[in-house]
Amino acid sequence: MRLIYELAPPEIDRLPPSAFRLPPSAFRLPPTAFRLPPSAFRLPPSAFRLPPSAFRLPPSAFRLPPSAFRLPPSAFRLPPSAFRLPPSAFRLPPSAFRLPPSAFRLPPSAFRLPPSAFRLPPSAFRLPPSAFRLPPSAFRLPPSAFRLPPSAFRLPPSAFRLPPSAFRLPPSAFCCLFLSLAMLQSSTLKFIKDLSKNNNKPWFDAHRKQYDAAKTDFTTFIQAVIDKHGLKDDSIREQEAKKCLFRINRDVRFSKDKSPYKTNMGASINRGGRKSVFAGYYFHLEPGQSFVGGGIWMPMPPETKKVRQEIDYCFDEFKKIVQSKKFTNIYGDLYREEDMTLSRVPQGFDKNNPAGEYLKLKSWIAMQSLKDADLTSKDLLKKTVTAFEALQPMVIFINRALENVE
């Protein structure tokens, strides 16, 4: 600029200021000056095509010299301080070793085991024959084993003296005797016969000892039945006889007969106890009308419906049970008295249902009569258990239908 000024004629200093002022229109360009045609932005396809050689790299581009993989030994050396931890790293606060009291408390359920935990399968008591075989050498003892010094045969006189208590047997010893006999005593039948003739409280109170003896006798017999049949039916194995017996007192609130006592003794042996809804076994002691049997007696409507459905769905299985030779030889058929049977097939089942005769039943029970002579026979336990074994398949069938009511 200075050069231009120096070369300009001297008259330039004589120009007025207005000579250097341009009008605003001199700085305005028309909009078309900024518009480019679309062709200015179009490039031919060849502009995007690169020759294959542009993507080819020579093999030397992938080769690295061996020195590139060599690291100096110092790269693997760490200073000793890298392995040193401060003592505070090993110190834990006392609270880390303190547990709240609740950590040592276990709920009562943790100490409860189901009854099945104490049941062992029969195979647990079976030993192979080899367990009883001993080598001949086990029976050979040296001659010295049979030589005893004379002093071994000398006993002091006190050894032959026994205290009087040694000859006294506890009452439980007699219960074991009754268990081995496994039959009822004639005195038990006599008490029931006498009670039927003298069914009043003064007489019963005067003969309470005889009643207690009869009850103990009946309880002992029922326990023997449970112990023996429980080996085959584990659902009653844990039952106690005293919890299976019915009370001797009658409920006379809604009865015209106001006799205070029953003239029989009964025991219901079933899964879940005497008052459960499951099918089971029953023993009825009444002179002239005793019987053994079981099943399910007058169940409530929900249980009745379940049993009928099971019979309908699995009639072939049920029919095979109640018509088996073992069942019919003992019971003949199910109990079908008029008060135990509907006049028609219940609602919800086809009137021509092949299981109709069994669906009409209100109770599904079977009974075998016992004579008075059978009650005092040594074969009573065997006869009772045999009857229960024949009934067991039907009990299992019915209880299968009631599995979800617990």
Confidence of residue 95 (pLDDT cuts 50, 70, 90): confident
**pLDDT (0 to 100) of residue 158:** 72
With a cut of 90, say whether residue 121 has pLDDT above it. Answer: no
State how far the Cα of 274 lies from the Cα of 387, in Å rounded to an integer. 19
Helices assigned H by DSSP within 76-185: 171-181
**pLDDT (0 to 100) of residue 136:** 75
User: Residue 85: CB partners within 8 Å, gap ≥ 6?
Assistant: none
**pLDDT (0 to 100) of residue 241:** 93
Confidence of residue 180 (pLDDT cuts 50, 70, 90): very low
Percent share of the chain, pLDDT over 90: 48
**pLDDT (0 to 100) of residue 171:** 47
In the numeric block, which tokens belong to residue 89? 């790293």
The predicted-structure confidence for 328-377, as pLDDT tens digits, reads as follows: 999 999 998 888 899 999 999 999 999 999 999 999 999 999 999 999 99
Please report where in the chains the tokens 């080819």 appear, as a residue. Answer: 56
More confidently predicted of 254 and 132: 254
Report the range out of 47-56, 85-94, 140-149, 243-252 with the highest average pLDDT.
243-252
CA-nearest of 265, 224, 269, 262 to 244 is 269
Q: Can you say how many angstroms the Cα of residue 250 is from the centroid of all Cα atoms in its chain?
A: 38
CA-nearest of 225, 322, 324 to 282 is 225
More confidently predicted of 194 and 97: 194
Output phi, psi for 292, to 5 deg: -130, 145
**Sheet order of strands, 290-296 included:** 265-270, 280-285, 290-296, 364-370
With a cut of 80, say whether residue 264 has pLDDT above it. Answer: yes
> Can you say whether residue 80 is alpha, beta or left, with left for phi > 0 and alpha for psi between -120 and 50 degrees?
alpha
More confidently predicted of 145 and 172: 145
**pLDDT (0 to 100) of residue 390:** 96
Confidence of residue 175 (pLDDT cuts 50, 70, 90): very low
**pLDDT (0 to 100) of residue 48:** 67
Rounded to an integer, the average pLDDT of 220-239 is: 94
pTM over 0.85: no
**pLDDT (0 to 100) of residue 173:** 45
The predicted-structure confidence for 30-78, as pLDDT tens digits, reads as follows: 777 667 677 766 767 776 677 777 667 677 766 777 776 676 777 667 6
Task: Give CA torsion, residues 189, 191, 196, 198, to 10 deg.
Answer: 160
**pLDDT (0 to 100) of residue 49:** 76
| Radius of gyration of the chain measured on its C-alpha atoms | 52
With a cut of 60, say whether residue 179 has pLDDT above it. Answer: no
Q: What kind and span of H or E run contains 290?
A: strand 290-296
State how far the Cα of 237 lies from the Cα of 227, in Å rounded to an integer. 7
The predicted-structure confidence for 152-173, as pLDDT tens digits, reads as follows: 667 677 766 767 766 565 544 4
